[in-house]
Chain A
Amino acid sequence: MIAETGHYALILALGVAIVQMVLPILGTRFNDPRLAAVAVPAAQIQFLLVCIAFAALTVAYVTSDFSVLNVWQNSHSAKPMLYKISGVWGNHEGSMVLWVLILALFGAAVATFGANLPRRLQANVLAVQGSIAVAFLLFIVLTSNPFLRVDPAPFDGQGLNPVLQDPALAFHPPFLYAGYVGFSMAFSFAVAALIDGRIDAAWARWVRPWTLAAWMCLTLGIAMGSWWAYYELGWGGFWFWDPVENASFMPWLAGTALLHSALVMEKRDALKVWTILLAIITFSLSLMGTFLVRSGVLTSVHAFAVDPARGVFILGIMAVFIGGSLALFAWRAPLLSQGGLFAPISREGALVLNNLLLTVACAAVFVGTLYPLALESVTGEKISVGAPFFNLTFVPLIVPLLIAVPFGPLLAWKRGDLLAAAQRLMVAAIVSVAAIIAVLAVHGSGPWLAPLGIGLGLWLIVGAATEIATRSKLFEVRWSESWRRMRNLPRAAYGTALAHAGVGVMVLGLVATTAWRSERIEALAPGSSIEIAGYALTFEGVKERQGPNYSELVGMFEVTRGGQPVTTLIPSKRSYAVEKSATTEAGIHNSWRGDLYIVLGDPLKDGAYSVRVYFNPMVRLIWLGALLMFFGGGVSLSDRRLRVGAPKRAKAKAQPAAAAGK
């Protein structure tokens, strides 16, 4: 009964979404405010209905209702509760319902909190959101219905792929989707502006918080995915340039560019047409990510089901939305007026450079990801494009951008002074040169690019701090005055500095891990030991252990450093009886110096095991950097200038306070 309720709610949601797509457009076209006003309740009701459908599916999973095909295929009664819930989106159908749920949530948010938007804009935006919802609801109802029944109901389920049974991965898809789908807001605003043929600085002020929120979610989602791959897949790597990773990375690059160009548009009323185009591109890349991951064209853990009908359907959705919006862009964009002028050396100029390098780097990733697919479909030849390609293309394109980052915030709008900015960055330059020399002295023999990379990371971090120091006149005026200025700086300035410093921290981690990682693969008999990066590991033998839904073979390793005991690491090989599958759980000892990472391999002769040991220096800085970017975004988002309409509310509050003071 619950499954049927969910199915019914989905179909109703589709009906409501059609209303939401059609009526508001007619309303704005024929100047009928009553028709346009339908958009708000329609978006809210659609969200409610999708909520019901999602809740119904969740209930089916939590209660292990195996008469529902989807639950039977992806769950098992012996699975821990967390993974019963995450199993809802750990499969194709459920993840599409989550996709639509987040889409509807964003729509409902614009409907509910967008009271200060111009009526026409709000109606158009909600109509475009409605059309995306129609496409994806149709997709679910026609090709990926999660509420199909099995008759007779099987006794127990088939379980969830064990590598997906992991806490980080339980929350990876929701954040990733919130990012993908969040960019639909920028897209809807862009298309609404094109429909109306009108756009102003206020438009950017509305779009920016949505884009920023989506960008934050995507940043966290990608970081979680990479962290998971690092400790779960047992290769000790954090990024494989796998097509599926690239599929999420491309919208991130375009979204990062969009954040910065929307800033120019808001502050200086320039780059309008480009910002609109970028909004369309960013969401198009999100759609493409969904297509690549969901259609099964890629070799990957994410390709849950290889069903050509679904691939063709999503391809159709992509063609309509990307083709349609680009055609609309070509037709209407000339109507949009060009805005403010600026000199090449200026804040705007720096942000243009940012956009240029980010989009070109994104294009390089795009080519590397899609070229194998294109080649195979044309010539039938199979190739793989891996890390070497991206290291040769993406890295040289992104490094100049990273070098330029600290200059951007120090340049004035309209016409900047490069020399003055360079003088202010003197400290950062000295710190990074000193670091380069120090690293060369210690690791003289390593890759020659590595010290430069460390210098680049510090340049970014100190450069980010320089902006705050400059704006608060640190060391120029008295401490108390600097402190007062620091407190009065807008939160957005801190957000920027935090996010840019986060990039620097990530660069440090990436460079250190890539350049100075050590790896040993040995056959170890019980009682023998192995040395790596100053640690000594003694293999104490193996034992069997029983988990909630798996049994595991645990290897025990005593770790000492300079004779002092450090920890005991217990890497294991798990076998899942229900799924008839196995996973490797690495044993990891974290420290700021680096991660000691052990993988237990195959049994060899005489009780020995093959063992793979890594030392990954400073690897945790990679994810710390991503977290800093996330928090930087959050701090910016809490800036009151971004809260549209906030000044009004602040004034209203200030008046009674002033009255009370009298």
Chain B
Amino acid sequence: MTRKQRRGVLIGTCLVVLGVAVGLVLYAMRDSIVFFYSPSDIAEMQVAPGQRIRLGGLVETGSVRRDQGTTVHFSVTDGAKVMPVTYTGVLPDLFREGQGVVTEGAVMPDGTFKADNVLAKHDENYMPPEVAAKLKEKGVWREGEATGAAGKVTTQ
């Protein structure tokens, strides 16, 4: 094999692998990306039933209700619209009424949201950035509201 042919093989292989990779990424981008919506977005944008999305907002106070077994009903609100959610399973430790939550699942034909995943927060004061941004848009939640008062700070 000449030097030129060797280089040809090398460049050819690289191009093939790159092409396959680009194809895979584009294909996966079309099918496996999950959009993040607030209850108002869902009402406005007519999200198709069955499409996988993430729903974020605050757990409406007084909305948590348990069925027989491990099914839980609660509502997610962004101040403007309310979305009823059903979830079967174990809720994360810091799931509380009045606190931020992110759930993943799909809108059912009857207009409720069936979640198969409720994302855990790691800290009481923590607000998922997506939720915080959406709530700020609606004017429900302000920066710094949930964080504790800091002490007097000096530099010496």
Where the two chains meet, the residues of A that have a C-beta atom closer than 8 Å to any C-beta of B are 4, 69, 72, 145, 148-152, 154, 158, 161, 163, 233-234, 299, 301, 306, 341-344, 352-353, 356-357, 360-361, 363-364, 367-368, 371, 381-386, 388-389, 392-393, 396-397, 521-523, 573, 579-584, 599, 601-602, 604-605, 610-612
Known A-B contacts: A163-B122, A344-B13, A386-B32. Give 6 more (CB < 8 A).
Answer: A150-B151, A306-B129, A352-B10, A353-B13, A360-B18, A383-B35
Residue of A341, A521, A584 touching B93 (CB-CB under 8 A) = A584
Q: Tell me whether A161 and B156 are in contact (CB under 8 A).
A: no
Is the contact region of chain A dominated by helix, strand, or loop, or is it mixed? mixed
Do A233 and B120 contact each other (CB < 8 Å), given the known contacts A149-B156, A299-B129, A386-B34?
yes
Report how far A581 CA is from B35 CA in the complex, Å: 29
Interface string of B107-150 (1 = CB under 8 A from A): 00000000000001011100011100100000000000000100
Report how far A249 CA is from B123 CA in the complex, Å: 25
Q: Tell me whether B122 and A161 are in contact (CB under 8 A).
A: yes
Report how far A299 CA is from B119 CA in the complex, Å: 11
Report how far A179 CA is from B89 CA in the complex, Å: 38
Pull 29 A–B residue pairs with CB atoms less than 8 Å apart, ordered by A. Answer: A149-B153, A150-B154, A158-B148, A161-B123, A233-B120, A299-B128, A301-B122, A341-B6, A344-B6, A344-B9, A352-B10, A356-B14, A360-B18, A364-B24, A368-B25, A382-B130, A385-B32, A385-B34, A388-B32, A393-B25, A396-B24, A397-B17, A397-B24, A522-B69, A581-B94, A584-B93, A604-B70, A610-B90, A612-B90
- Taking CB atoms, residues of chain B closer than 8 Å to A392 are 24, 27-28, 31-32
Q: Tell me whether A364 and B25 are in contact (CB under 8 A).
A: yes
Q: Tell me whether B70 and A601 are in contact (CB under 8 A).
A: yes
Q: Tell me whether A356 and B17 are in contact (CB under 8 A).
A: yes
CB of A235 to closest CB in B, whole Å: 8
Interface centre among B24, B66, B124, B153 (most CB of A within 10 A): B24
Tell me the nearest residue of chain A to B155, going by C-beta: A148
Tell me the nearest residue of chain A to B36, going by C-beta: A382
- Taking CB atoms, residues of chain A closer than 8 Å to B73 are none
Q: Tell me whether A599 and B21 are in contact (CB under 8 A).
A: no
Do A154 and B151 contact each other (CB < 8 Å), given the known contacts A233-B120, A341-B3?
yes
Report how far A284 CA is from B54 CA in the complex, Å: 32
Q: Tell me whether A148 and B13 are in contact (CB under 8 A).
A: no
Q: Tell me whether A523 and B70 are in contact (CB under 8 A).
A: yes
Q: Tell me whether A522 and B70 are in contact (CB under 8 A).
A: yes
- Taking CB atoms, residues of chain B closer than 8 Å to A356 are 13-14, 17
Interface string of B36-54 (1 = CB under 8 A from A): 1000000000000000001
Report how far A609 CA is from B153 CA in the complex, Å: 45
CB of B40 to closest CB in A, whole Å: 14
Q: Tell me whether B28 and A383 are in contact (CB under 8 A).
A: no
Q: Tell me whether B88 and A69 are in contact (CB under 8 A).
A: no
Q: Tell me whether B151 and A383 are in contact (CB under 8 A).
A: no
Interface string of B52-79 (1 = CB under 8 A from A): 0010000000000010111000000000
CB of B153 to closest CB in A, whole Å: 6
- Taking CB atoms, residues of chain A closer than 8 Å to B32 are 385-386, 388-389, 392
Q: Tell me whether B3 and A523 are in contact (CB under 8 A).
A: no
- Taking CB atoms, residues of chain A closer than 8 Å to B130 are 299, 382
Report how far A342 CA is from B153 CA in the complex, Å: 64
Tell me the nearest residue of chain A to B117, going by C-beta: A235
Do A344 and B151 contact each other (CB < 8 Å), given the known contacts A381-B35, A521-B90?
no
- Taking CB atoms, residues of chain B closer than 8 Å to A521 are 70, 88-90
Report how far A254 CA is from B25 CA in the complex, Å: 19
CB of A572 to closest CB in B, whole Å: 11
Report how far A163 CA is from B3 CA in the complex, Å: 58
- Taking CB atoms, residues of chain A closer than 8 Å to B156 are 4, 149
CB of A384 to closest CB in B, whole Å: 5
Q: Tell me whether B24 and A393 are in contact (CB under 8 A).
A: yes
- Taking CB atoms, residues of chain B closer than 8 Å to A343 are 1, 6
Q: Tell me whether A385 and B33 are in contact (CB under 8 A).
A: yes
Report how far A507 CA is from B10 CA in the complex, Å: 29
Number of B residues whose C-beta is below 8 Å from A? 48
- Taking CB atoms, residues of chain A closer than 8 Å to B68 are 523
Interface centre among B54, B129, B155 (most CB of A within 10 A): B129
Residue of B1, B21, B90, B153 touching A360 (CB-CB under 8 A) = B21
CB of A200 to closest CB in B, whole Å: 22
Residue of A393, A523, A582 touching B69 (CB-CB under 8 A) = A523
Q: Tell me whether B17 and A581 are in contact (CB under 8 A).
A: no
Q: Tell me whether A582 and B90 are in contact (CB under 8 A).
A: no
Residue of B3, B28, B152 touching A393 (CB-CB under 8 A) = B28
Report how far A233 CA is from B120 CA in the complex, Å: 9
- Taking CB atoms, residues of chain A closer than 8 Å to B129 are 299, 306
- Taking CB atoms, residues of chain A closer than 8 Å to B94 are 581-582
Tell me the nearest residue of chain A to B28, going by C-beta: A392
B91 within 8 A of A: yes
Tell me the nearest residue of chain A to B69, going by C-beta: A523
Report how far A74 CA is from B20 CA in the complex, Å: 47
- Taking CB atoms, residues of chain A closer than 8 Å to B18 are 360
Do A389 and B89 contact each other (CB < 8 Å), given the known contacts A149-B154, A353-B13?
no
- Taking CB atoms, residues of chain A closer than 8 Å to B66 are 604-605
Q: Tell me whether A360 and B17 are in contact (CB under 8 A).
A: yes
Report how far A554 CA is from B6 CA in the complex, Å: 66
The B5-19 residues at the A interface (CB cut-off 8 A) are: 6, 9-10, 13-14, 17-18
Q: Tell me whether B6 and A69 are in contact (CB under 8 A).
A: no
Report how far A234 CA is from B120 CA in the complex, Å: 10
CB of A366 to closest CB in B, whole Å: 10
- Taking CB atoms, residues of chain B closer than 8 Å to A583 are 93
CB of A578 to closest CB in B, whole Å: 12
Q: Tell me whether A580 and B90 are in contact (CB under 8 A).
A: no
- Taking CB atoms, residues of chain A closer than 8 Å to B89 are 521, 601, 610, 612
- Taking CB atoms, residues of chain B closer than 8 Å to A580 are 124
- Taking CB atoms, residues of chain B closer than 8 Å to A357 are 17
Tell me the nearest residue of chain A to B54, going by C-beta: A384
CB of A580 to closest CB in B, whole Å: 5
Q: Tell me whether B124 and A581 are in contact (CB under 8 A).
A: yes
Tell me the nearest residue of chain A to B122, going by C-beta: A301
Report how far A383 CA is from B91 CA in the complex, Å: 23
CB of B128 to closest CB in A, whole Å: 5
3 nearest A-B pairs in the assembled complex, by CB-CB distance: A601-B90, A388-B32, A382-B36
- Taking CB atoms, residues of chain A closer than 8 Å to B17 are 356-357, 360, 397
Report how far A342 CA is from B1 CA in the complex, Å: 10
Report how far A520 CA is from B94 CA in the complex, Å: 22
CB of A71 to closest CB in B, whole Å: 12
Interface centre among B20, B29, B31 (most CB of A within 10 A): B29
Do A384 and B31 contact each other (CB < 8 Å), given the known contacts A150-B154, A163-B122, A360-B21?
no
Report how far A328 CA is from B14 CA in the complex, Å: 25
Report how far A123 CA is from B17 CA in the complex, Å: 40
Report how far A382 CA is from B70 CA in the complex, Å: 31
Tell me the nearest residue of chain A to B66, going by C-beta: A604
Report how far A515 CA is from B21 CA in the complex, Å: 25
Report how far A645 CA is from B31 CA in the complex, Å: 55
- Taking CB atoms, residues of chain B closer than 8 Å to A393 are 21, 24-25, 28
